[in-house]
Copies of this chain bind each other. A is one copy, B any other.
Amino acid sequence: MERLQKQIDFIVEIDKLKNIFRQNVVIEDRRNENDAEHSWHLSMMALLLREHFIDPNVDLLKSVKMTIIHDLVEIYAGDTFCYDQEGNKDKLEREIQSARKLFSILPKDQEKELWDLWQEFEETDTMEAKFAACLDRMQPLLLNSMTEGHTWKKPGVNKNKVIERNKILRDHAPNLWEYVISKIDDAVEKGHLKE
């Protein structure tokens, strides 16, 4: 029961992910999306889009695990806007501290499992991490393309930076990359994204 109590304590603590808000907005009412919603959306995309990933043998369960856990570290570290140069300088350090604190609530073996999964996602070396990263880039792009470029209009964002941010798709999911580029061009044409 001590082991179960640790697991429950963790499950209760991560309820806080529902109050970590991102820069992106939900399509219908344009309120900020939170990390729990974003993580769910990525996991749903993982179930549907694997066929477009360059390695069809990618371990789907492992990638789904990454989409589910990848933003947990933001519970104490907060969300850092991907185009915020200043905030990104100490992002990794803040997130490592957060991961240590959060995952240590769990029994040792599960602490290690989550730590390893998160590290693998961050390093983006394995196929499973690359697939999860592709989805993590593409989901905000879909929201932006449906909300007249909500976060693309923020200071410091332009076409080149969005392309740079998404370029993992070019090498690992050519169909998705083609789609993404068409949406970026479309947004520039409509004035939702600076050239």
A residues apposed to B, CB below 8 Å: 1, 4, 7-8, 10-12, 14-19, 26-29, 33-34, 36-37, 39-41, 43-45, 47-49, 52, 60-61, 64-65, 68-69, 106, 110, 139, 142-143, 146, 175-176, 178-179
Contact = CB atoms under 8 A, between A and B. Distances in A.
User: Binding site of A, secondary structure by majority: helix, strand, loop or mixed?
Assistant: helix
Nearest to A117: B47
Nearest to A5: B179
B68 A4 contact: no
Given A36-B37, A37-B36, A52 B4 contact: yes
Contacts of A47: 65, 68-69
Contacts of A44: 11, 14, 68-69
A142 B176 CA distance: 39
B28 A15 contact: yes
A47 B114 CA distance: 10
A8 B39 contact: no
- This chain's copy number in the assembly: 2
Which 4 residue pairs of A and B lie closest in terms of their CB atoms, listed nearest first?
A40-B40, A61-B61, A36-B37, A36-B40
Nearest to A110: B48
Given A26-B19, A37-B36, A40-B39, A48 B7 contact: yes
Nearest to A15: B27
Contact of A29 (B19, B27, B69): B19
Contacts of A41: 11, 14-15, 36
A58 to B, nearest CB: 13
Given A12-B142, A15-B26, A15-B27, A4 B179 contact: yes
A28 B33 contact: no
Given A18-B33, A19-B26, A43-B43, A48 B11 contact: yes
